[in-house]
Every structure is written in structure tokens, then in C-alpha cells.
Structure 1
Amino acid sequence: MIETDRLLQPYEVDGLVRADVLLAVRDAEVQTRMSERRKLRLAVRWCVLNPGSADDRADLADVERSYGIDLPDLHIAGEGTPLLAAGAPEAFAAASGVSAASGQSALADALDLTHRLRRIMRGVEGLTVPVWKARKVAQLTRPMPAEAAVWVDQELAPKLAAGLGFVTIERTVLAAMAAFCPELLDEREKQGKAAWRVEVDDRRGEGWDGTSVLDALGDTADLHDFHDLVCAVADRLGELGDTDTVGQRRAKALGVIGRGEHGALLGGAGTVAAAGDRVPERSDGVGGSAGQPSADDAGDGPAVPARSERTEVALAASAGSATVVPSRRVSRRLFVHIDAAMLAQLNADPDSGSVTAGAGATVDVERLGVATAAWVRSWLGSDQALKVTPVVDLGGGGGVDRHDPPPWMREQVVLRDRHCVHPYCEVDSRSCDLDHIEPYRPHGPPGQTRPENLAPLCRRAHVAKTHLGWRYVRNRDGTYTWTDSSGLRYLVTPEGTFPIG
């Protein structure tokens, strides 16, 4: 493999000795800083070329009042920085291959570093300060007045060049906040509590489809109490013979607690069926970890029940799709795309011998990805009754003579396009507006509202298309061609976004 150093001299990677590898790593870090500096310089230039004005802000306010929507703010950075023209973040983000929010963040950081954190910016220019650290300081100081940002700049600029870590960076910023704007500390606490949440991210997991992420932000004492309970359940699972890792047992413990089985688990003995799975007995008499008793030695206490309650489930099969709606615990619907044969297998009695879906059988679950048929059965429970509702025809229905699409038409479009069709946007289509690609005219021709003329757009993309100069068409193959306000074009496909000119 041939690489090139920052002086444009080629070298053979496979021929490097130990010391040469480390020197090459140092050189690669310098090249990385040069590349990131170049992107930051371009962000600064884009801001210079796209200045905003008070008149622009007034125009946007009129649009917001007329349409009842929130348009992106022109003042995206800290106090003392110039306004940015509406639509500038969206175009910059698309050219960068990132979402609009990420593009706006990069531009805001560029403005703060140029106008409020000039010493740190000089460190970036001299390649002594990595861009990611400089941007972190910009983000932390953005709510603060300009004089506080200048103080932080003076304090941190020489230290960042010496490799200062994030913890010290944050402490310095908080010290400035206490000295210059203590009211922000109160606001920080209020915002912290306002941000409390417990959310499940079903879009992608950590390593394989079918895994989700539970994100909890709340009172420290409450979360520590819950964590202690999770750890106690996980430890008990290990004592009863579960041979999974500690992390896996803790993940299982969430399901045990959610099903209300932890009381029996912590208060009794015996073999436990964690997460719907019976813990296997081991012939060697060894439990889940060294020194732990095996399931065979745990006594004859009551076993913790697996999921046994019956859950009413509705399946709305739609051209190979199904909607799973548990009536207990889960308040949202789970959309499973599945063919008729597999649906029959899932609906069959597992004890009848008619279930033949093998270990390799998979289904497509919205926001989760690919999951095995066996995994879907475990979600539904071993004794679930499945109810099939009428099929939704994705290719039929025609148009209607009104602005808002009927529910069946919205379902067609959402199933057809899984996410916002703006370049690089991945907002789930069920959270999007349905936009008329050719604008709806109240006194126009009949049938303007039809699936072929509708596409899911997140609110920001909808605003960009309606008010900020973006335009797009839906191609015959179901892809979308977008053109931004500068004339750059992007092809949006189910496989991703591709710049085309």
C-alpha cells in the first residue's frame, strides 16, 4: 500500500518499521488537522458569502405567522456574530454530505471561532489546536456573552495547544459562566431538568439489526437507584445460571423489570426464564461466572414466569407489510414488512408442529432493520394471537380532490418512502409532513393529491423547498432529484444520496 505524507512524498506502508509507523501516525494527524482546517476555512467563507439582514429576519417572521411554522433562525452563533442568510445551512450541509442540523452547527462554530474565539482560531490555523476541540469550545461558550467568550479564549488558547482535555475545558467554561453570567447556571439547571427523558431509539442499534438503544436522562439519585436494581437483577440472573456477559445480563434485566418479574426473581430461587428464554442447564455444574452457583444448585424455588400474558396484536398486511400493535406495555405500533407465507408461520401455534420458519428466516422491521422471525415471535410472546386487517394496496387508490391526503394515502407514501427524501436526511417518514411535489392549487385540476405527487419531508426540508429556493422532482423509478439554490443537484435513492452536478 502506497501512502503520501504531508510533503507529498510517497512511502510503502508495508515496508515501515516500528519507529517509522509512529512517525507516520504523527504525520497523518497533521494531515487530518490540515483537512479539517480547510473545511473550517470554507465554512467561514460560506458565511461571508451568505450574510443575513434584519429585513430578512422580518420577512421570515411574516412567513412564520402566515403558515404557523418555525423557520431556521438567522442568528445561529453567539453574541456579536453576524446573521446568516436563510437557506445557507441547508446548501452547505448537502455539499458536506451531512444533515441540515449538522451543517448549521459547523457554520455556527465557524462564526464563533472567527468572531469570539480568535486566539483559539489562530491555534487551528497554526495546526497546534485540533478543530474538534476548537469547535467544542465554541459550542460550550455559545450561550454566553461576548466578554465571557473572550475570557475563555484567553484562558484556553495556550492550553489547548498543550493537549488540554475535555474535562478541564468544561470546568473553564463553567468558571466563566459563574463569573460573567451566573444566571446561565440557573438556566442550565432548568434546561437540564427540562431535558429529562426516557426514549428508545429503534432506528439503529449497537452492532446488529434488532437491537435498540434506551436513552435516559433524569435525576441522578433516581437513575442510580434504577441502575442498582438493574445490576441486582443481572447478578441474580448470573447466580441462576445465565452464562451471558454482565452487559448482556443487564440488558436482559430491563425486560425482566419491565414485565414486573424482578420481584419474584430477587425474592425467590430456581431457574429463571429471562427475556423470554429459558436459561439452559449446564452439564459441568458451572454457573454464569467463576464462583457462582449453577442453576442445578439453586434449589427448587419457584421459577420466574416467562411472558405468558396474552397480547392482542393487529397485523395490517400491506403488499408484504404488517403492523404489529401490542395492547399492553408498548403504546406504539411496530411495523413489520413480511410476506404472506412468513406471516402464516408467525400466526401458527408453535406447539402444532406447523411452524417451519428456520433460523435464517428474516423480516424487515421499520426503524429496527432486519430481524429474525424467531426474534419477532419472542417480541410477541409464545402464545400471541395475531389478527390480520385488510391489505393496503401500495400501487392503487388514485387521487383525491382535497389538499390533505386521506389516511390510506398517507400510509401508502410512508411505506413507499421510509424517511424524509431531502438529501442526506434520515428523519423517519412517519414523523414528516407530506409535501405536494407540484404545489397544490385550490382551484387547480382534479386529483392533485395523489401518491405520485406526495413525498415525506421533515419540517426543515419542507421549509427549504417552499421558501428557500430548493426544488425537486420524483423520477419514474421512485428516486428524487433535488436542486439547491446554487444549482447543485443531488439524487436521493433508497440506498442514499449521490451528488450529480
Structure 2
Amino acid sequence: MIETDSHGQPLEVDDLDAEWLLDFAHEAEAEVRKAERRRLRVVLRWCDLNPAADDESRLSWGEQERVWDCDAWIGGEGVPAVAEFSAEKLAAVMRMSPAATTSLMAEALELRHRLPKIHARVESLDVALWRARRVAKATQGLSPEAAAHVDTVLAPVVDSVGPTRIDRAVAEAIALYDPASLEVAEEKVATNEWGLTLRHRRPGEGGQWAGTSWLGITGDTPTLQRLHDLITDTTAPSADPTDPADTDNERDLGVRQIEALGAVLDGLGAPRPRVRLNIDITSEDLAADTTQVGQVLGLGPATLAKIRGWLAGAASVSVLPVLDMARVDAIDDHDPPRWMRDLVTRRDTHCVFPFCDTGSPRCDLDHISPYVPIHLGGPPGQTHPGNLAPLCRHHHRAKTEERWTYHRTDHGDYLWRDQHGHSYAVTTHGTLELDAR
């Protein structure tokens, strides 16, 4: 493998001994920091070129997927307002998701305007950008005075601090400058975040799905401690290893804890879950004895043994008629019927905007050629599978407001174009950048 050193001289990496390789690694880190600084400067300039006209058009965290009920603006108090829809164009050329680009923009603004000492160390290449961003992410909710305190405390050591040190500095700043906010957080803000969240594993996320999901619980400490203790006490090993009631001691503790949680639910008389899954299998597959796999839309592969378990009573499962993916029926109404929505969301499994991976079941169905009501002169049959595509709410708005245009090809690809002439193709293989302008 041929590389060039900091002087532009070629070298063969595979021929380097340990001493030379360490020197080259040091040079490579310096080059990475230069590239990160260049990107930071580009992002900040992009923010400067896209100021918000008013508070109604400011970029907010609500534009990130799965947080549509959040209207908080990006950046901390005193950070210049940036226009909504400004992240998508930058995200596309950097081949990042809009959500990740929004975070980068917010943290870049935080560094420049509220953490100037840490920002200066990034500019001088003394600190890697990822370390500075970690601090910027933690300070966006602080007052200017509290953020300045964190900047002063951490700037000299930011190249070596971890999350614990950052959290400690933030807590100290709140205690010194925003004690009232801590009281508000305890009494109101924290309770607004209480609740349950259930997330299923996505295809390609940490291996096979295998029927595993995540349940998150946020609430008051005593209540959650009681639930934790109930489960752990149930699964605690007995003092006598020969106790026949403790024959599962060799089994994985996590498995026994989940089973104990199921026993708690059974004791409460909790109903069996109702599950609506789109599974690609045939009746012949389900009857087979061999190990086979079905595809569960939005979740990924599952063995037929797992699917048989669902059908046998592990959950309340509704079996729906087979969906004909070749249907092209058209209707005059704006809203598609259930079969048409199912067809489109199975055909396109995620938002078809460049680099967006929001699952199609959580997307709007957009009319690619805008729908014109019949009573306003629109033609019949505007709603059909070929004129529908899943777009997450934010990208649906971006298209509707004519900030982007796109169309669907005969092969099922989506060709997008922004206002600056950059073009992208969203295919089954991912997003491809086409020749610009």
C-alpha cells in the first residue's frame, strides 16, 4: 500500500518497521485533525450563509427523525439562528444523514460562539474535533455563563477528558450559575421525559435480529428500583447450589431476568401482545421441518421456529391475505387504501430521500407528482403505487416546499435534485451521487 508522508514523499506502508509506523501514525493523526478543522470551517460558513429569517423558520431538533414533537432550536442561548431545511443540502454532499449534519452544525456553532477557548484549541490542532464536540453536545442547554465556566475548566485538558469529567464540569456549572434550572428539571422537565419506549432491532444493526427488542423505562428512581429489585431478587441464586429450584443457575442471568419479567406480567394478568407483522413466507415453508428463515418487514430476518412460536400463541397474531405486489390500481382520492400503503411500504422499506433511513412504516406517503383535487381540475387516478413514495415528515415538507425535486424511474430508483444542481440517485443499493450540475 503506497501512501505519502507529510512532505509528499511516497512510502510503502507494508515495509515500515514499528518505529517508522508510529511516526507515520502521528503524521496521519495530524492530517485527520486538519481535515476535521477544514470541515468545521465549511460547516460554520454554511451556517453563516443560511441565517433564519425569523423564529418560525429556525432549524430545530424537531427536524431530526423520530423527534417531531421537539421544537427546540439547535445551539445554546446566544447562538445565531440557522434556517430550517439548511442541513439537507450540506448532508448530501458530505454523504451524511441530515440528523448527523444537524448535530454537527449545532456543535460547531456551540464551539465558535459559546466555547471559544476549546474552539481555539481545535483551530490550533491541539485537540481532535470529536473531543470538542463531546463537550459542545453537553453544554447546549446551559446558560451563557455556565457554558463559559465549562469552557474555562475543560479547555486546558479537553484533549484527555472523558464523559465523567465532562458531566462533572457541567453539573458544577449548573450549581454555580443555574441552580434554579436544577429545581425545574427535578420538578417538571424530568417528569416530561418519563415513560416507556420500545425499539425493535433494525436489519443490519448489531447482527441478526432473532426476535430481540429494547425496552427503555424513564421514571422516578424509587419506583424503578422496586422493579429492578423484584426481578433481581427473583433471579438471585440460592445459597444451596444443590437446590433443585435453582437448576437454571448455569443459564445466562439476562435470560432468566427477562423470563422473570414475563412471570411478573403473567401475575398481573397482562394480556398477550397483539402483533402486526408483514412476513415473507409461504405456507409450504411454515410446514417444513428444516431450518428456514422468513423476512419480517421493518425488523429483518427471523427463523421459522420463531414465527411458529408467534402463531402458536406467544402473541396474538393476525394473518392477512397475500399482498399482490404487481397491483397498479389507481383511485381518485388523495389518501391511499390500506393495501396500497402496504404495497408501497414493502416496496420501499425506508424514506427515499438521499441518505435517510427512516423506516417506511413511520413515513408519509408522498404523491411524487403533486396531487390536484378533482374539483380543482385534477385528473382522475392520481393515487396509485407508481406515484407514491415514502418520505419522512421533514423530507416530505422539504419536497412540498419545492426545495428539492425528484421522480421515480421505470426501474424503481429515485432521482433527486437540489436547488444548486446537485443530483442523487436513491437505489436499492444505497444513495449514489450523480454528476453535479
TM bucket normalised to smaller = 0.7 to 0.9
1:85 Cα deviation (Å)? Answer: 2.3
Q: Does 1:479 align with 2:422?
A: no
CA distance 1:462–1:447, shift in 2 (3 Å):
same
| 1:143 paired residue number | 141
User: Structure 2 CA distance, aligned partners of 1:234 and 1:97?
Assistant: 47
CA displacement, residues 242-287 of structure 1 (integer Å, 9 cap, x when unaligned): 655x4xx414531442254998xxxxxxxxxxxxxxxxxxxxxxxx
The answer on whether the counterparts of 1:230 and 1:250 sit within 8 Å (CA) in structure 2 is: no
Of 437, 461, 471, 2:368 maps to: 437
Amino acid at match of 2:110: D
| 2:431 paired residue number | 497
CA displacement, residues 147-191 of structure 1 (integer Å, 9 cap, x when unaligned): 332232222211214x12221222112222222222322343333
Aligned Cα RMSD in Å? 3.2
| 1:404-423 pair list within 5 angstroms | 404-423=335-354
User: Structure 1 CA distance, aligned partners of 2:47 and 2:423?
Assistant: 21
CA displacement, residues 383-425 of structure 1 (integer Å, 9 cap, x when unaligned): 9998744332222251111111122221221221111111111
Amino acid at match of 1:88: S
How many residue pairs match? The answer is 413
The structure with more radius of gyration: 1
Amino acid at match of 1:39: R
| 2:277 paired residue number | 334
User: Structure 2 CA distance, aligned partners of 1:461 and 1:472?
Assistant: 12
Amino acid at match of 1:150: A
| 1:46-445 pair list within 5 angstroms | 46-54=46-54, 57=55, 75-161=73-159, 163-189=160-186, 190-204=188-202, 205-210=205-210, 211-232=212-233, 239-241=246-248, 243-244=250-251, 246=252, 249-260=253-264, 328-343=271-286, 345=287, 355-356=288-289, 358-359=290-291, 361-381=292-312, 388-396=319-327, 398-442=329-373, 443-445=377-379
The answer on whether the counterparts of 1:482 and 1:490 sit within 8 Å (CA) in structure 2 is: yes
CA distance 1:94–1:384, shift in 2 (3 Å):
closer
User: Structure 1 CA distance, aligned partners of 2:175 and 2:229?
Assistant: 34
Amino acid at match of 1:476: D
Any unmatched runs of 5+ in structure 1? 62-69, 264-308, 310-326, 346-354
Amino acid at match of 2:413: T
Which secondary structure state, in structure 2, belongs to the residue aligned with residue 334 of structure 1?
coil
Amino acid at match of 2:257: A
1:12 Cα deviation (Å)? Answer: 3.5
The answer on whether the counterparts of 1:3 and 1:10 sit within 8 Å (CA) in structure 2 is: yes
User: Structure 2 CA distance, aligned partners of 1:339 and 1:43?
Assistant: 51
1:133 Cα deviation (Å)? Answer: 2.0
User: Structure 2 CA distance, aligned partners of 1:60 and 1:151?
Assistant: 27
User: Structure 2 CA distance, aligned partners of 1:260 and 1:141?
Assistant: 40
CA distance 1:379–1:233, shift in 2 (3 Å):
farther
User: Structure 2 CA distance, aligned partners of 1:388 and 1:145?
Assistant: 54
Segment drifting more, 394-403 vs 455-464:
394-403
User: Structure 1 CA distance, aligned partners of 2:249 and 2:279?
Assistant: 30
User: Structure 2 CA distance, aligned partners of 1:102 and 1:229?
Assistant: 39
| 2:45 paired residue number | 45
* Percent of paired sites with the same residue: 40
User: Structure 1 CA distance, aligned partners of 2:419 and 2:69?
Assistant: 17
The answer on whether the counterparts of 1:72 and 1:86 sit within 8 Å (CA) in structure 2 is: no
Amino acid at match of 2:395: A
Amino acid at match of 1:329: R
User: Structure 2 CA distance, aligned partners of 1:154 and 1:476?
Assistant: 58
Q: Does 1:35 align with 2:35?
A: yes
Amino acid at match of 2:305: A
1:240 Cα deviation (Å)? Answer: 1.4
Segment drifting more, 451-460 vs 184-193:
184-193
CA distance 1:236–1:43, shift in 2 (3 Å):
same
User: Structure 2 CA distance, aligned partners of 1:117 and 1:261?
Assistant: 49
Any unmatched runs of 5+ in structure 2? 60-67
User: Structure 2 CA distance, aligned partners of 1:80 and 1:395?
Assistant: 55
User: Structure 2 CA distance, aligned partners of 1:382 and 1:77?
Assistant: 49
1:448 Cα deviation (Å)? Answer: 0.7
| 1:293 paired residue number | none
CA distance 1:188–1:388, shift in 2 (3 Å):
closer
Amino acid at match of 1:158: P
The answer on whether the counterparts of 1:116 and 1:150 sit within 8 Å (CA) in structure 2 is: yes
